[in-house]
Structure 1
Amino acid sequence: MNTVKELFRGNIRQYGMVIALLFIMVFFQILTDGILLKPLNITNLILQNSYILVLAIGMLLVIITGHIDLSVGSVAAFVGAISAILMVDMQMHFVPAMLISLLIGALVGAWQGFWVAYVRIPSFIVTLAGMLLFRGLTMIVLDGKSIAPFPKTFQKISSGFLPDAFGGKIHMLTIIIGIVLSLILVFSEWRKRSTQQKYGFEVGSGALFALKLAAMVAVLNIFTYVLATYEGIPNILILLFVLIVIYTFVMNRTIVGRHIYALGGNEKAAKLSGVKTQRITFWVFVNMGVLSALSGLIFAARLNSATPKAGVNFELDAIAACFIGGASASGGIGTVIGAIVGGLVMGVMNNGMSLVGLGIDWQQGIKGLVLLLAVGFDIYNKNKGVS
């Protein structure tokens, strides 16, 4: 029992929200009479929250550096409008249109990153101005109208599924992918534990390690089985998985990731240690611009139109996902997986409250309370010395 307590205490940021997510899912599963975890609803949860999860990954890096970006929803709407003009009005193929859209997102990020990093204007002010600017440009570009429909191939980014070469009632390719990922997970965790033991780090007992692995593998395979009983793995889930792997690797295993954490932990100390803080800040905002553009493309593909009202409150959901997922309001702390878990908490709550018939007024109030409690929990842990 002491070992379990120490394990939880040492990883409270990582496991706290995972446990909260499981509790929320069970709670709404009971309230909705089993509708929440039906295959169709699970798939809808992924599709409905994909663009917020993409934004949360980028927002996490911004928050870790000690900044904030209020413009991401407006940038997503603006890029979605540009992509509609290119693909629908100008009949451009969706691949070059997407590349141009992502480039525009990068330029927007560079524009805002320049003011924050080199002119030293607070990010709150710069991105607030960006939120107003790009919302206005979206309305100008669309002339107050919606543009639709997008090409079918482009729509499949958000609404398509991985094809199954085996056929049958159950999507066998999804089952196979789940098994393969389980083997990779077991090998990765075993290798990590062996490395820690090799260098004399303290690790939990073998029984606890086996229990943890068994739980992770069980959850992974149940999840893939549920998807397999419907249409299989959505295309957008593959994109999300790739982004999570890439950004987790960058933040945990590269010099750039360490510099981002160092910048958020103590900017002056990082600068004295040789970290090019202005350059790091600039590229973090460029990255945020690209992911905002990607989010805008995903949302446009799902909606099958570009509208002036697209992206409203996206920034609030992305910021909330990061803080609920364990990112620190003062910077320097946070993980990609945590941001994803935080986004899923918000998504499950939205979906569950809608299924039980709660109005949007109650939903907004409850989400605000959850965000406040998450940040309060972070401050409490910081004051208690929990890392």
Structure 2
Amino acid sequence: MTVTAPRGSQKTVPPATAVTAGTSELRELFTRNLRTSGIYVALIALVALFAVLTGGASLSPGNITNIVLQYSYILILAIGMVIVIIAGHIDLSVGSVVAFTGAVSAVTVIKGGMPWWAGVAAAIATGLLIGAWNGFWVARVGIPAFIVTLAGMLLFRGLTLVILGNVSLSPFPDGAYGQIASGFLNGLLGGPGYDVFTLVVFAIAVIGYAVSQWRTRKARISYNQMVSSFPLFILKIALVAVALMAFAWQLATARGLPIVLILLAVLIMAYSVVMQRSVFGRQVYAIGGNLSAAALSGVKVQAINFWIFVNMGFLAAVAGVVFSSRSNGAQPGAGNMFELDAIAAAFIGGAAVSGGVGKVIGAVTGGLIMAVMSNGMQLMGVDQSMQSVIKGLVLLLAVAFDIYNKRRAGSR
């Protein structure tokens, strides 16, 4: 039976009545986003811990810059890996692809005498072909991605040894190729002892972030969704602004804005938009969340899976170019264990083992956690074997936390 209110007695609740959340609502907001919030808290805690343990050396301008340069390729791989994991797959071949594409680039430039951009183009083309190769076997033939990429890990490592003749190939003939991973933009706007251009770029980024968050807040209000109180909203913006500008100051007082950081920022923004606001991104989440339901709803599962691996090949090639640029050459053992670092970054950043869950920014944050841990332990002189033990425990705890959250949610 339907009950209809008398004419004139119906009231329309304006969207703005659901703007802010009280104490209980804020607790619910925090609980619901505990995993996402937790990785940011963990990153801040790690930064503070190693700052104390290293006597402030981990926060020096030079060390902050080195972290960006040394771990950028892992963050690039993490962006692609989290998309693969969201779709319910895994890619074990990316470390070998990094080595192979870097070797192709080095052979093109060093042995072939081609310009630096030709080496980059050759590496990217190779990465796309490798991604298509993996995607064909996974999407069209139906072989599990674990098996396909395990075979690829062996195949492309072997091809790296073949084209390099099992020896290292270096250096690149001019400094242009090396600028990809080790170059800086500085002095464009001058500055008394620091680079003004770096500070301006980050200030623009802060403004962009604030505008984006404000628009998101307004959209949620218009749909009567729960949002935090305005003071807490402003506090969040302020904390992010302080963190970004502090990071910018460290870079500005060192060598300026790393070119590879610009590349990484562009990739993060582009892939965040693709995964959150495009049809392709929603279909990736649908496949990972419920494959049968996605197929029944009209998602072209084979095509999406194919392009997921093509994209992973592309990003692995980008990482290969960055790594070879950083190394000023190609080595047979390049990229060793990179796939495990990328997988760990994705899981620590919030990706679910079963698929369907994860964010690009979460994977990047997970990669930063791994980078801060590795860098901090290196500064403290921790033995390499013990570093591996600690990383393994962190990954295990992250996955255990994911399973615990799922069981707790299922018991409600």
How many angstroms does 1:385 deviate by?
1.4
Aligned to 1:273: 297
Matches within 5 A, 1:258-337: 258-337=282-361
Q: Is the 8 A contact 2:86 2:351 kept in 1?
A: yes
Superposed CA RMSD in Å reads 1.2
**Whole-angstrom distance in 2 between the partners of 1:188 and 1:58:** 24
How many angstroms does 1:198 deviate by?
1.5
How many angstroms does 1:163 deviate by?
2.9
How many angstroms does 1:3 deviate by?
4.3
**Whole-angstrom distance in 2 between the partners of 1:69 and 1:153:** 31
Matches within 5 A, 1:1-387: 1-150=23-172, 151-168=174-191, 169-385=193-409
**Whole-angstrom distance in 2 between the partners of 1:10 and 1:215:** 21
Structure 2's unaligned 5+ residue stretches are 1-22
**Whole-angstrom distance in 2 between the partners of 1:262 and 1:157:** 36
Q: Is the 8 A contact 2:170 2:328 kept in 1?
A: yes
**Whole-angstrom distance in 2 between the partners of 1:131 and 1:248:** 27
How many aligned positions are there? Answer: 387
Q: Is the 8 A contact 2:349 2:365 kept in 1?
A: yes
Give the letter aligned to residue 47 of structure 2. M
How many angstroms does 1:97 deviate by?
2.1
SS of the equivalent of 1:385 reads helix
How many angstroms does 1:5 deviate by?
2.4
Q: Is the 8 A contact 2:108 2:122 kept in 1?
A: no
Computing the radius of gyration from Cα coordinates, the structure with the larger value is 2
SS of the equivalent of 2:58 reads coil
Would you identify which runs of 4 or more consecutive aligned residues in structure 1 move more than 3 Å?
A: 1-4
Structure 1's unaligned 5+ residue stretches are none
**Whole-angstrom distance in 2 between the partners of 1:370 and 1:12:** 17
**Whole-angstrom distance in 2 between the partners of 1:203 and 1:68:** 35
SS of the equivalent of 2:177 reads helix
Comparing 316-325 with 223-232, greater Cα deviation is found at 223-232
**Whole-angstrom distance in 1 between the partners of 2:332 and 2:120:** 19
Give the letter aligned to residue 162 of structure 1. L
Comparing 111-120 with 4-13, greater Cα deviation is found at 4-13
Give the letter aligned to residue 158 of structure 1. A
**Whole-angstrom distance in 2 between the partners of 1:375 and 1:222:** 31
**Whole-angstrom distance in 2 between the partners of 1:130 and 1:232:** 39
**Whole-angstrom distance in 1 between the partners of 2:198 and 2:246:** 11
TM-score (normalizing by structure 2): 0.92
Give the letter aligned to residue 252 of structure 1. Q
**Whole-angstrom distance in 1 between the partners of 2:89 and 2:243:** 35
TM-score (normalizing by structure 1): 0.98
**Whole-angstrom distance in 2 between the partners of 1:76 and 1:84:** 12
- The Cα offsets for residues 294-334 of structure 1, whole Å up to 9 and x where unpaired, read as 11110000010100010000000000000000000100000
How many angstroms does 1:213 deviate by?
1.0
- The Cα offsets for residues 252-293 of structure 1, whole Å up to 9 and x where unpaired, read as 010000000000001110000000001000000000001111
**Whole-angstrom distance in 2 between the partners of 1:126 and 1:365:** 28
